[in-house]
Amino acid sequence: MPDPTSLLAAYDEQLRTDAETPSAVSVIRWGPLRLVTFPGGRGFVTYRDLGGADAGRLRRLVPQVLAQYRADPEIDRVEWKTRGHDHAPGLHEALLANGFVPGEPESIMIGEARALAVDVALPAGVTLRRVTAEADVRAMSAMQDEVFGEPVSEEMAQALLRRLARADGMELWVAEAAGRVVSAGRLEPVEGTDFAGIWGGATRPEWRGRGIYRALTAARARSALRLGKTLITSDSTEYSRPTLQRSGLVRVSTTTPYLWRR
């Protein structure tokens, strides 16, 4: 069994850098923070640690950061990404006081890619493949929006297409039945690290519990190994966490997004 302490140390050292935000339009350093802007008016705050800031410092820091984003009329929402193992006294209260709303906590899962790269039987009529064509990317993105209860987003599809055009290593994988996307997810190899991330996993409700997501995860893990990545990470909801845990990934911490909307 991998050592959770060592895996968490590798996560903090290798991933909490610019490698975390490969599709950023801009990144501003603000003390210990990285203030990121993504296409489509989305701000994102992240950091390796908070530099020992106490509650008083964080009470002052949060509104300063928010003011930076408010000054850009193109920004209509900001996510502040927190981790459960960080020393962050009073951060929760400071975020709430400035209009941020906490989302559902997710598990930070890490493990060896080879533990996931197993053969998984698919239901009859279901096939897996990597997609790059625009129509396929749009079908995948629309399915994910529907599963997550969001309106179908032209913005998200365009962001994925821009990433593919940049050829930065991201891979898109789908499971299909009768020509319809029933499950999907991304693989994000992180340059200069041992890691690849598996993100965006979504399966239509009527197809869950049949091994499709696990097979999709295995396909991405095999691809990660071909690219020389030995560790897999994912921020997992309670839908996907049990599958990854059964495959040998371990929960090393939690992450909770706090969202502000203009």
Residues 128 and 97 in one domain: no
The whole-number pLDDT of residue 142 equals: 96
The token duo for 155 is 């913005």
The whole-number pLDDT of residue 89 equals: 96
Q: At what angle do helices 134-147 and 154-166 cross, to 10 degrees?
A: 130
The whole-number pLDDT of residue 201 equals: 87
- Look at residues 259, 242, 260 and name the one whose alpha carbon lies nearest to residue 251: 242
Residues 134 and 181 in one domain: yes
Residues 120 and 250 in one domain: yes
* Contact indicator for 21, 159 with CB cutoff of 8 Å: no
The whole-number pLDDT of residue 212 equals: 95
Residue 247 lies inside a defined structural domain of this protein: yes
Residues 230 and 162 in one domain: yes
Q: Which residues of the chain have pLDDT under 50?
A: none
Cβ neighbors of 20 (< 8 A, separation 6 or more) are: 46
Domain boundary among the residues 107, 142, 161 is at 107
Nearest 5°: phi and psi at 239? Answer: -70, -45
Q: What is the pLDDT of residues 91-135, one digit of tens each?
A: 999 999 999 999 999 999 999 999 899 999 999 999 999 999 999
Cα 135 to Cα 127: distance, rounded to the nearest angstrom:
17
Domain boundary among the residues 55, 83, 107 is at 107
* Contact indicator for 184, 175 with CB cutoff of 8 Å: yes
Residue 261 lies inside a defined structural domain of this protein: no
Residues 139 and 243 in one domain: yes
| DSSP string for residues in 116-167 | H----PPPTTEEEEEE-SHHHHHHHHHHHHHHTT----HHHHHHHHHHHHHT
Domain boundary among the residues 87, 107, 127 is at 107
The whole-number pLDDT of residue 105 equals: 95
Cα 149 to Cα 100: distance, rounded to the nearest angstrom:
21
The whole-number pLDDT of residue 147 equals: 92
The whole-number pLDDT of residue 123 equals: 96
- Domain membership of residue 234 as a residue range: 111-254
